[in-house]
A and B are shown apart, each in its own frame.
Chain A
Amino acid sequence: MTDQHSYKLSHRHLIGLEEYSRRDISLILETAASFKEVINRPIRKVPALRGKNISNMFFESSTRTRLSFELAAKQLSADILNFGSSGSSVSKGESLSDTVRNIEAMQVDCVIVRHSSAGVPNFLSQCLTSAVVINAGDGAHEHPTQGLLDMLTIRDAFGTLDGLKVVLIGDITHSRVARSNIWGLRKMGAHVVVCGPPSLIPKEIDKFGVEVCYRVEEALSEADVIYTLRIQHERQGEIFFPSLREYATLFGIDEDRLNLAKPGAIIMHPGPINRGVELDSRVINNGRSVILDQVTNGIAVRMAVLYLLNGGGEHDAE
């Protein structure tokens, strides 16, 4: 790729990493590495997307992802519109497709969407005629930019993703972050292990090509990356484990458990953290935690995605 002067992603939208090839993912990560330099400049702004209109449409709450996309768009000189479902015409009963068609009629070039239902970004990509759709998290389906920023962070620490043992711990069933990471990491050559209470491991886990482990001590042995997932109280209508305390005792990462992994292992979390549940406070502030690097890398990855997907004046007919 480095010998080419230009290269296009093989997709018009970013719905999930399931559809993206290893080559596409590598291009995004390489481009993001270049954008990391931009966000450390005295003036953190480049004119690449001047004149582009980008809309943030968050139908579900978010701090990190929304701010990160907004900052990424602004640093590329695009104009960004922020849209929340409360206080909008959605609360007056307008359908989702009508809402986005109206937004597209305002000459918006790119729609970033988060929704509690899986499949909404894909549906919108079919409703819209010219705007690009970026999935910022849909139900338990995917959160592709999170997967990408996680891979960038791991690559920063180890120089590669090939051959690393990455352990995802916690609620795999309800986690879109886990799905995006599994798709992406496997394509990039990592060995992925999932670990959690059996009630939070999906029945169809065999299809993902990952190793399943129910004992955290066993999973952590020889691990390069310890990726803890958030226990999602809001997405769980029913109860999947007896108590948070029991979860913390069986699956929470403290310093003792951290020592079971490789000496150079890193600790990750997509946020927001439930302190004392997924991670012990001492571990969060430990030198091996890269949790805040993940947040910084999120801006660079989102700049790369916005740049690569909004590239060029005319899209080829598809």
Chain B
Amino acid sequence: MKQQILDKKGIAKAVSRIASQIMERNTRVSEIAIIGIQRRGDWLARRIANIIHDEKNITIQVGILDINLYRDDLQNRAEYPVVRTTNIPFNIEGRTVILVDDVLYTGRTIRAALDELKDFGRAHRIELAVLINRDGRELPIQADYIGKNVEIGTGGTVVVQVHELDQNDDVIVKEVL
């Protein structure tokens, strides 16, 4: 069964709410940096940074993170994942980093991202923003900013599309019945 849970408007609203909450919680917005996880999180990160820029007239540093080299299942896979670009063109030392991903599911991607970020320096604080927060956590990880919560049970999948990569914006849930 397929069901659309967010359309273009819904995603825009969710992203803008996340951006407002980030500005609320971080009074010194100029000190934050936003890092998106490849390949959908980086586009969401850019959108959040643009909203903050429009509102506060501050340019927010944006980075891209590819976590594939830090996965915990590399030894068990028949093929290695394609390694894409990581680009963090600023020093994260002492900064508040907002990590952005499309879906928070098992928590393993975020675990890998935290390990990888550690190798770039010691951030003052790391927060997590996700568009979709779903059930199925396998690690003690939770998000600080959430676009939408969904419960679909194991076996179900969430597909996020962003127009920068997929030509349109939407979130679809596929449930196994």
Contact = CB atoms under 8 A, between A and B. Distances in A.
Contacts of A41: 119-120
A35 interface: yes
A48 B69 contact: yes
Interface string B104-138: 00000000000110011100000000000000000
Q: Is the interface of A mostly helix, strand, loop or mixed?
A: loop
Given A43-B119, A48-B69, A312-B77, A7 B82 contact: yes
Interface string B73-97: 0111111111111110000000000
B78 A314 contact: yes
Contact of B84 (A34, A42, A311): A34
A34 B70 CA distance: 14
A256 interface: no
B122 to A, nearest CB: 11
Interface in A264-318: 307-308, 311-314, 316
Contact of A307 (B78, B83, B121): B83
A311 B80 contact: yes
B77 A46 contact: no
Contacts of A2: 82, 84
A134 to B, nearest CB: 16
B66 interface: yes
Interface residues of B, number: 23
Contacts of A239: none
B163 to A, nearest CB: 16
A313 B78 contact: yes
B87 A316 contact: no
A2 B121 CA distance: 29
A5 B77 CA distance: 12
A303 to B, nearest CB: 10
25 contacts: A5-B81, A5-B82, A6-B80, A7-B82, A8-B78, A8-B80, A30-B82, A34-B83, A34-B85, A34-B86, A37-B86, A38-B69, A43-B120, A46-B119, A48-B74, A51-B75, A307-B69, A307-B83, A311-B77, A311-B79, A312-B77, A312-B79, A312-B80, A313-B77, A316-B78
Interface of B: 66, 68-70, 74-87, 115-116, 119-121
Interface of A: 1-2, 4-8, 30-31, 33-35, 37-38, 41-43, 45-48, 51, 307-308, 311-314, 316
Which are the 9 A-B pairs with shortest beta-carbon distances? A311-B80, A46-B69, A6-B79, A43-B119, A48-B69, A34-B83, A312-B78, A8-B79, A6-B81
